[in-house]
Amino acid sequence: MTNKGNTVLYTGVTSNLARRIEEHKSKRIKGFTQKYNVTKLVFAECFPYIKYALMAEKKIKAGSRQKKIDLIKSINPEFKKLEF
């Protein structure tokens, strides 16, 4: 997820993407996403098991900002808000 200007990147894991996005948009969850107004979904992946999702999250978080941007651009070159 990112903010309106695409200047902040946030990576997380959830079992309910729609609920989690709504929590970020409504600012119900205090912390990083609230502080930096992170409300726009620009990348998502589905995994059959939480174990794989957590492994992917760890790999993404360990990467550089440029690697995160490249990953997003691989499916969403214009950083458009994704609908699901």
CA gap 80, 64 in Å, rounded:
21
Strands (E), the chain: none
CA gap 32, 78 in Å, rounded:
24
What's the pTM?
A: 0.91
pLDDT at 56: 98
pLDDT at 66: 98
Domain ranges across the chain: 17-75
Count the neighbouring beta carbons within 10 Å of the beta carbon of residue 33: 20
pLDDT at 29: 84
Is residue 84 predicted with pLDDT exceeding 90? no
Is residue 26 predicted with pLDDT exceeding 80? yes
pLDDT at 13: 97
